[in-house]
């Protein structure tokens, strides 16, 4: 018999009527926010599938925007996130699309621009029960959940870069749960994503950046 946790039965602590359409939406947007390297000034959401059909009634729009502003799933400010965003000068736009393809029906794109010219495109999926995963960063397909401490290394796909990353982690006694390389094509832009079931020391990012093929390092702690 498969193990079922209490969380799977009652769902997450949340504001809103749906663990998939509100809690999941807030969680994926919060994860996207944590991946962004600066302060967000503008975000454009593209909603697919059931998100596109019911986002107003289920509060998906408010949940997504709340997550982008850093609100947890049970933060009561989510109810007023549209107003709060305007008060904070955060520009936002919601677009619906029927071009779902093979994507999960609870899919949202988050195209973010920062005050310092930063840009990041994130595609997230709400899997149900408040669980989410990130399936695209910019133009590269990825797969991680944010349920572990996650290190995202943006790099050029060159020999020795992954070895440099693992050596830096080993020197800090980081136990790697999962490690994957995602790339556009051989020798082009790539992401190495490392997940650990313990906190990753903050200063490991400086060591990883020493490699000239590494352009950015983002750390998202559990």
- Best CA proximity match to 216, nearest among 142, 148, 134, 137: 137
Residue whose C-alpha is closest to residue 178's, from 212, 146, 137: 146
* Three-state secondary structure call for residue 35: helix
pLDDT tens, residue order, the chain (222 aa): 444 443 443 344 445 445 556 889 999 999 999 999 999 999 999 999 889 988 888 889 999 999 999 999 889 999 999 999 999 999 999 999 988 666 777 999 999 999 999 999 999 999 888 889 999 999 999 999 999 999 999 999 999 999 999 999 999 999 999 999 999 889 899 999 999 999 999 999 999 999 999 999 999 998
pTM more than 0.75: yes
Nearest-angstrom CA–CA distance, 87 and 54: 26
**Residues linked to residue 124 through DSSP beta bridges, in sequence order:** 108, 134
What distance in Å separates the CA atoms of residue 97 and residue 23, rounded to the nearest whole number?
21
């Amino acid at each position: 018999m498969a193990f079922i946790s209490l969380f799977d039965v009652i769902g997450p602590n949340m504001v809103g009527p749906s663990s998939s359409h509100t809690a999941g939406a807030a969680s994926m947007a919060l994860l996207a926010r944590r991946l962004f390297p600066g302060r967000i000034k503008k975000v454009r959401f593209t909603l697919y599938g059931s998100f596109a059909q019911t986002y107003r009634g289920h509060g998906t729009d408010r949940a997504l925007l709340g997550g982008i502003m850093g609100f947890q799933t049970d933060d009561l400010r989510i109810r007023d996130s549209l107003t709060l965003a305007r008060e904070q000068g955060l520009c936002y736009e919601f677009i619906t699309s029927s071009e779902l393809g093979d994507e999960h029906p609870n899919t949202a794109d988050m195209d973010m621009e920062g005050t310092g010219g930063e840009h990041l495109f994130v595609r997230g999926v709400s899997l149900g029960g408040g669980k989410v995963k990130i399936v695209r960063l910019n133009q590269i397909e990825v797969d991680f959940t944010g349920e572990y401490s996650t290190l995202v290394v943006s790099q050029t796909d060159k020999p020795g870069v992954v070895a440099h990353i693992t050596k830096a982690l080993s020197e800090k006694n980081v136990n790697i749960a999962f490690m994957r390389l995602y790339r556009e094509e051989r020798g082009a832009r790539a992401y190495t994503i490392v997940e650990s079931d313990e906190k990753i020391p903050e200063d490991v990012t400086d060591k990883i950046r020493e490699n000239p093929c590494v352009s950015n390092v983002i750390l998202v702690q559990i």
